Structures are given as structure tokens and as C-alpha cells.
Amino acid sequence: MRCFNCGAELTINPFCTNCGADIREYRRIMWASNQYYNDGLTKAKVRDLSGAVLSLRACLKLNRTNIEARNLLGLVYFEMGEAVAAFSEWVVSKSMKSDKNIADDFMETIQANPSRLATINQSIKKYNQALAYAKQGSLDLAVIQLKKVLQMNPNLVVAYELLGLLYLESEEFKRARRILSQAMRIDRNNTRILYYLKEAEDGIAARFQQDSPRGRKQEGRASADSITYTSGNETIIQPVNTIEKGGSSAAVNIIIGLVIGCALMFFLVLPARIRSASSEMDDQLKEVSDELTVKNADLEEQDKKIEALQSENDELKGSLGDLAGSSGMSERYDHLAEAALNYIKNPEDVTGTEALLKLIPVENSPEETVSLEILPSTSSGLDPTIYSQAFRDLYSYLDNDVSSRAARTYIDSGREKLENDEYQAAIADLLKATEIAPLNDEAWFYLAESYKESGDSIHATQAYSKIVNEMADSPYAGKAKENLSNGAATENDDQGDDNGRAADDNDDNDNTEGALSEEDIAAQQLAAMQVLQAAAGAGTTETGAE
Amino acid sequence: MIDFEEELKKFHPSPEVEDAENQIRALDVTDMVDLIVHLEERNNIR
């Protein structure tokens, strides 16, 4: 401790050894200041902030240079939400002791968070505005503003106090009690808060008595039916020998409540739930319907693809069938190859080669006609849309060469057999010749002769007629016409004896085998007449032909 | 019952940050030691 007059270090003497000043009062003041500081510190530790403020202020009034007390006062102010007051104390403390002062740390900590400081300042401004509203009589605005203040700065004790006062003024005692109780958690021994809280409790108790029916009814005889005593700040009224009425009314009330609840559920909640569920179901149904439409479209598209592939498959199978099988193209190529092979190996076996060629079906080309003569021709009569050019060339070569030779062979064979009176064999050979060469007049003539010699006048007449009608320029036409004029049947009769046949059998119209009926003879005569009439137009060629 | 008007008069605007300088200047830091010094000086003068 130093002398207040000269600053010299003091001793145990009651005066300053340096200047001689009396320091007895000074010592008492320092002692009292320290006592207040200790008291303030104790109160601050138990969160009696308002009490700590009073003690620390008293301390500083005795000794302004008590730095610890000033710093603690600033800290208590800050805890009560009054940042500016706290800063003021710390600045003064700093001015009195610039070195090793904890106030530096306090200020640096707060200044390190500017947004927090700004929020505190904003809350103080709103508090001031709320106070102005309250003084102007706008209590509702003040209450609203104070609620905002407490959201921003929950430690501002004066805001709790003012809000509690406003609630008390508006007789909202429960709210006042709640807000003041919150303030009590910050400042536990604030006299003003305690005062307001007591007012709130009194208000609540008074209202309870007013609202309680029993209290109103029995107000007059409360002293007789109840025991009243005070516990702390509360007045407790305890009934004497009062038994609560039975639980039947409570059960009825519970049932009524349940019924009302069920009714509310049925009329309010369930329809909304049902509508919501129905809406969700509709949405889901719509989504499913859309998906189904898309799937159906895909399915139709797939069906069309399958149909297209099926038709393509059928076409390919048809093409494969044309190429393969007994009537397919491969079979035809085989026949042609076999015919060619036979033609090379056995050039004389023209009939075999011809037989193989006949196995190949001939689809006539629309622009080509069948050759009328057994002459070499480049036209094969094959449809170029079916057969290739090489196929048609080979077929044409073989057919032209082999056909003419085969026809010649059959004709020669037939004539030889005719001369040997082997009429049926001759007919067979000559028929083959006419098949190979349908307009070969020689084949037709000897075929007619063979028929005539065999006694088949009808076919003989038909063969002669063919020569006369279709091959009028043939050297056999005259002979054919002559035979027709003589009548194949007559000729048949004339030669019937030569052939060992009984001409009388025909005359007698017997039904023996080989005899002609009357209808056959009439048809023969009619055909002969037609041929002669047709031949009459031929004119002079008849003589030349002979 | 509390007197609302009288209670309201006990509330004072809280100093804002902008007013901190004025607040510090207005702060009364006179203490009992100053009073003793003053009295001592006056006695010495007499």
C-alpha cells in the first residue's frame, strides 16, 4: 500500500513515514473497498449479478484504482447483456493500468467476433425502442420488440424485467412468471425481478380463486372448510375432510371426449385422408396407364416386326423349296448334269439322254415358242427368269442335238418295225418320235400307216388329218390325203385279210375285241369328210404332193 | 399491486455502442480517497 499523498510505501505506522500524512482513515477505506470487492466476487460466483454490481460499485466508490473490481464489474455487466457498460469499465481499467491487465483479453475476445458485437448492439437499440413504445403506451409493440430483443440477446436482464412488467400490466401473470423465471436463471437475486415475480404469483393465485367454482361457492365458508397457510411466497389453501366425488362423472367425460374425438376423426381427418389417398391412387393409376400405353405400342411394333420376319422366313423357305427337293432347282440341275454326262459317255444313247432331259420341266418363255422342226435351235424354251443363261445354253444344245437324233432313231425304228409287221411296237416308237418332234411329217405319216395297218382307223385318220391340216407342204401330205379319200376304214377292210383279221367281223358288227361300232364308223366318216373339205382349199398342191 | 407508471420510470435507455465514448467520459470515477486528499489539502491550507 502506498501513501495517497506522496505515493511512498507505507509501513505499519499510522502515518506516512515520508510525508507524515495521517493514513488511518485511508487504511479503513482500503479495507472497506476490499470487503466490497470480496462481497461482489462472492455474489458474482453465485450468479447474484445485480448484487455483485452494487458491491463492486461501492468498492470502486471507495477506491477507484481497484482494477480487479473494475474488471469484474465489466464482466458482470457483459453477463447481464450490457456490453457498452462492460466496455466502459474495461476501458477505464485499461487507462489506469495499461500493463498486465486482463481487461485487454476481455476486449480482444469480444472484438474478435464483430457479428456478435453487432447483434448485441442491435438488441440494445431494440430494447431502447421497446422502452420508448412502453412509455408512449404502445404496450403490444413493446412486447413484440422485447421478444425480438431476447431472441438476439438472451442475457439482457433489463429486457426480461421490462417484458415481465408489461405482462403484469396486461395481467398476463403466467407469461410474466415464465419470463421472469427465465431472468432468474441469469440473475438469481435481482430485487426487481423478485418483486415482479411475486406480483405475478399473487395475480395467478387471485385469478385461480376467482376461476374456481368451489372457491366462489365456498368463499364465504372457506375459513370453516379449508386450512390456509403460507409457504414462502405462496398461499396454500387445503380442503378439510373433502372427498372428491366418484369417478363416474370422470368416466362419462372421458367417454364423451372419446366420442367427440372419434367424430372429429370421422368427419374431418378421414375424408382428408381418403381424398389424399384417392389422389395418390389416381396419380399412380395414371402413371401405370401411361406405362401400359407405351408397352402396348412397343408390343404392336414387335408384332409387326415378327410378322415381317415371318413373311421373310416364308419367302426364304419358298426359295429354299424351289432350290431343293424333288421339284427344286437343284434337282433340275442334277438331271441336266446327268443328261450331259450320259451324252458324253454314250453319244449313241440319245434316247437315254432325251429321257433325262424330259425330266426337266419346261416353263416356256412368254416371248419364245416351241420349235416346230427338229432343227438345231438356240432357243431352249426355258424361262430366263427361272433358269440361268448357262443352264439354258447347255439344255438347248443337248435338246437340239439329242432330240433330232432321238426322233430320227425312233422314226427309223418305227419304220423297220412297220415293215416287219410289228405294228404296236412301231406305233410306240413313232409316238415317241412325235412327242420329240411334234411336227415331224414323216413320223406322223408312218404313225398313221402303223395305225392303219394295225386296224386302228380312227387314230390313223387323225394322224393323216394332222398331216393334211398342219403340214400341207409336206411331201407326205398328198399320200395322206389319198389315204383319207380312200378311207382309213376301207383301207383297213382291204387289208384286213392281209393282216389275218376277219373283215367280216366288222361287217357283222360283232362285239369282239378290236371291232368298230357303228358310232365309231360314223365318227370316222365324219372326220374324213371334214379333212377332205379342209383339204379342198389346198387346191393344186395335192397333185404336186403326190 | 405495482404502479406501472412508477416502475416504468425506473427503466432507462441502455447505452449503445455509438455512445460508448460519451459513456466513458461521463463515468464518475471519483472515490473516497479523492475526498480524503481534498480534505487533507484544505486542512493544510488552513
- Write the CATH number of the domain with boundaries A118-215: 1.25.40.10
* Closest of A105, A81, A110 to residue A93, by C-alpha: A105
**Nearest CA-CA distance, residue B2 and chain A, Å:** 7
* Between A42 and A497, residue with greater pLDDT: A42
Instruction: In whole angstroms, give the CA distance from residue A343 to residue A353.
Output: 6
Q: What CATH number matches the domain at A24-112, 3.40.50.300, 1.25.40.10, 2.30.30.100, 3.90.1150.10?
A: 1.25.40.10
What Rg do the C-alpha atoms of chain A give, in angstroms? 73
Put simply, the answer to whether B36 touches A196 (Cβ < 8 Å) is: no
- The domain total for chain B is 1
Put simply, the answer to whether B17 touches A83 (Cβ < 8 Å) is: yes
**Nearest CA-CA distance, residue A239 and chain B, Å:** 28
Task: Using pLDDT thresholds of 50, 70 and 90, give the confidence band for residue A366.
Answer: very low
| Residues A170/A139, Cβ–Cβ less than 8 Å | yes
Put simply, the answer to whether B15 touches A169 (Cβ < 8 Å) is: no
Instruction: In whole angstroms, give the CA distance from residue A17 to residue A300.
Output: 121
DSSP state letters, A377-404: -S-----TTTS-HHHHHHHHHHHHHHHH
**Which of A289-303, A366-380, A448-462, B13-27 has maximum average pLDDT?**
A289-303
How does strand A234-239 pair with strand A226-231?
antiparallel
Residue A227 has pLDDT above 50, yes or no: yes
Put simply, the answer to whether A131 touches B31 (Cβ < 8 Å) is: no
Q: How far is CA A62 from the centre of its chain?
A: 87
Interface test with B, best of A25, A156, A166 (most B CBs within 10 A): A25
Chain B CB contacts of A85 below 8 Å: 14-15, 23
Put simply, the answer to whether A87 touches B20 (Cβ < 8 Å) is: yes
Mean predicted confidence (pLDDT) in A280-294: 92
For chain A, list residues whose CB is within 8 angstroms of any CB belonging to chain B.
Answer: 4-5, 21-22, 25-26, 29, 33, 60-65, 82-85, 87-88, 91-92, 117, 121, 124-125, 127-128, 131, 134-135, 156, 158, 161-162, 165, 168-169, 192, 195-196, 199
**Nearest CA-CA distance, residue B42 and chain A, Å:** 13
pLDDT of residue B29: 82
Task: Using pLDDT thresholds of 50, 70 and 90, give the confidence band for residue A224.
Answer: low
| Residues A411/A430, Cβ–Cβ less than 8 Å | yes
**The one-letter amino acid at A187:** D
Instruction: In whole angstroms, give the CA distance from residue A433 to residue A452.
Output: 18
- Predicted model pTM: 0.45
Put simply, the answer to whether A92 touches B37 (Cβ < 8 Å) is: no
Put simply, the answer to whether A161 touches B11 (Cβ < 8 Å) is: yes
CA distances from A145 to A25, A75, A174, A278, A494 (A): 50, 26, 19, 46, 155
* Residue B30 belongs to domain spanning: 4-45
| Residues A396/A362, Cβ–Cβ less than 8 Å | no
**ipTM of the shown complex:** 0.87
Name the residue in chain A with its Cα closest to that of B27.
A88
Tell me, letter by letter, the H, E, C secondary structure of A209-276.
Answer: HHHCHHHHHCCCCHHHHEEEEEECCEEEEEECCCCCCCCHHHHHHHHHHHHHHHHHHHHHHHHHHHHH
Instruction: In whole angstroms, give the CA distance from residue A522 to residue A530.
Output: 12
Put simply, the answer to whether B11 touches A162 (Cβ < 8 Å) is: yes
Coil, strand or helix at A15:
strand
Residue keyed to cell 391412387 = A281
**Nearest CA-CA distance, residue A144 and chain B, Å:** 17
pLDDT of residue A217: 57
DSSP one-letter code for A22: B
Instruction: In whole angstroms, give the CA distance from residue A492 to residue A527.
Output: 16
Name the residue in chain A with its Cα closest to that of B21.
A88
pLDDT in tens, A76-86: 999 998 888 89
Taking phi first (over 0 means left), then psi (-120 to 50 degrees means alpha), and beta for anything else, what does residue A443 get? alpha
Share of chain A above pLDDT 90, in %: 34
* Between A227 and A289, residue with greater pLDDT: A289
Residue A29 has pLDDT above 50, yes or no: yes
* Torsion of the alpha carbons at A293, A299, A305 and A309, rounded to the nearest 10: -170
Instruction: In whole angstroms, give the CA distance from residue A222 to residue A62.
Output: 56
* Between A279 and A486, residue with greater pLDDT: A279
Residue A361 has pLDDT above 80, yes or no: no
**Which of A165-174, A340-349, A531-540 has maximum average pLDDT?**
A165-174
| Residues A442/A479, Cβ–Cβ less than 8 Å | no
Residue A124 has pLDDT above 70, yes or no: yes
* Between A387 and A180, residue with greater pLDDT: A180
What architecture is domain A344-545? Alpha Horseshoe (1.25)
* Between A212 and A529, residue with greater pLDDT: A212
Taking phi first (over 0 means left), then psi (-120 to 50 degrees means alpha), and beta for anything else, what does residue B11 get? beta
Percent helix, strand, coil in chain A (nearest 5)?
Answer: 70, 5, 25
Name the residue in chain B with its Cα closest to that of A60.
B31
Put simply, the answer to whether A128 touches B11 (Cβ < 8 Å) is: no
What Rg do the C-alpha atoms of chain B give, in angstroms? 19
Residue A523 has pLDDT above 70, yes or no: no
pLDDT of residue A59: 93
Task: Using pLDDT thresholds of 50, 70 and 90, give the confidence band for residue A303.
Answer: very high
**Which of A114-128, A234-248, A378-392 has maximum average pLDDT?**
A114-128
Instruction: In whole angstroms, give the CA distance from residue A4 to residue A24.
Output: 11
Put simply, the answer to whether B15 touches A85 (Cβ < 8 Å) is: yes
Among A80-94, A154-168, A398-412, the least confident range: A398-412
Coil, strand or helix at A422:
coil
Instruction: In whole angstroms, give the CA distance from residue A510 to residue B37.
Output: 191
* Closest of A515, A520, A444, A510 to residue A483, by C-alpha: A444
